[in-house]
């Protein structure tokens, strides 16, 4: 169910409130442009600064607007196990198709703590759970052995790998097999990730270039030489954009690019701030290279 180009949806704001009108437009923008799945209320959706009410509303609106046209993997992680369970239960009740659960940040649990955290969530839902392993933000790294233990549980379905280590993909396939879903969280590594056996991405760049990202994902898994070449062409065209969106903390550059494309404002919540002028120049240049402006 979860493969191809899944967008880590930004959350538009207007006067520091959820901009429902543009949020719904964004969802339809993705449906119309071939995005394979929607991921609301993740880090790119500024989940750390959404209130609980907003977090739940973002997921509910996404489910309602998508109307079953695309699978929805709701961001339901927290460094509090109880809170992660509550958010996951809500996502299931709202009609999401899966849950993206980030490793508990700040607490720095052991591998056993990680196992027990995910087991507790697993035991309180019937949703497929995608582990989100991002050591750069959470300061912990789930081992392949811990993922193998978790994969024995009924609802642990796969991983969003944002380690940046392609060898980790090889190790995971070797130990867990190909039924364990492996999605990358690194746009810049997506081509090599898929070549090595990954099945897709949870993408930041797809917020701005959904058609290019979905085409790239499709062609990168093709057996046709011509389609592989097309995947390479798209990948090269998007590489500057991938890089520019992380010059400053995500999603500030992405929201600025979305503003240039007329998708929503670049309003962002503290402690994140709008990007600097020199970053704006790089983002504009990258959008131009990708032929988006």
Show which residues are catalytic.
132, 160
Q: What is the largest CA-CA distance in the chain?
A: 49
> Nearest 5°: CA angle at 108, between 121 and 48?
65
3-state secondary structure of 251: coil
CA 220 to chain centre: 19
For 154, how many CA atoms within 13 A lie in the half-sphere containing its CB?
8
Nearest to 216 by CA among 191, 196, 246, 251: 191
Contact (CB, 8 A) for 38 and 62: yes
Nearest to 87 by CA among 95, 78, 79, 190: 78
SS3 letters for 98-136? EEEEECCCCCCCCHHHHHHHHHHHHCCCCCCEEEEECHH
Contacts of 144 (CB under 8 A, 6+ apart): 168, 171, 172, 175, 176
Beta strands in the chain, from DSSP E residues, in sequence order: 4-8, 13-14, 17-18, 37-39, 73-75, 98-102, 129-133, 156-161, 181-184, 200-203
Cα dist from 13 to 30, 49, 63, 138, 234, whole Å = 18, 12, 19, 25, 30
């Amino acid at each position: 169910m979860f493969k191809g180009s899944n967008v880590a949806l930004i959350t538009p704001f207007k006067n520091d409130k959820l901009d429902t009108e543009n949020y719904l437009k964004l969802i339809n923008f993705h449906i119309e442009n071939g995005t394979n799945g929607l991921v609301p209320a993740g880090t790119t959706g500024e989940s750390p600064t959404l209130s609980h009410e907003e977090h739940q509303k973002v997921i509910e609106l996404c489910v309602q607007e998508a109307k079953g046209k695309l699978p929805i993997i709701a961001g339901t992680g927290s460094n509090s196990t109880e809170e992660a369970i509550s958010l996951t239960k809500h996502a299931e009740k709202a009609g999401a198709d899966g849950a993206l659960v980030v490793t508990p940040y700040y607490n720095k649990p052991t591998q056993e703590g990680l196992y027990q955290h995910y087991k507790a969530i697993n035991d309180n839902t019937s949703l497929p759970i995608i582990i989100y392993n991002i050591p750069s933000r959470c300061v912990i790294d789930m081992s392949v052995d811990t993922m193998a233990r978790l994969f024995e549980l009924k609802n642990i379905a796969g991983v969003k790998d944002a380690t940046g280590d392609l060898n980790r993909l090889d190790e995971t396939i070797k130990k867990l097999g190909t039924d364990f879903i492996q999605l990358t969280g690194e746009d810049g590594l997506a081509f090599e990730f898929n070549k090595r056996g990954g099945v897709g991405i949870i993408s930041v760049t797809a917020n701005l270039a959904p058609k290019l990202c979905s085409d790239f994902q499709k062609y990168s898994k093709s057996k046709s030489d011509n389609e592989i070449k097309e995947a390479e062409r798209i990948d090269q065209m998007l590489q500057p954009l991938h890089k520019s969106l992380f010059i400053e903390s995500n999603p500030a550059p992405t929201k600025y690019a979305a503003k240039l494309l007329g998708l929503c404002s670049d309003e962002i919540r503290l402690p994140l701030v709008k990007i600097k002028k020199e970053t704006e120049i790089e983002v504009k240049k990258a959008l131009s290279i990708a032929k988006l402006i």
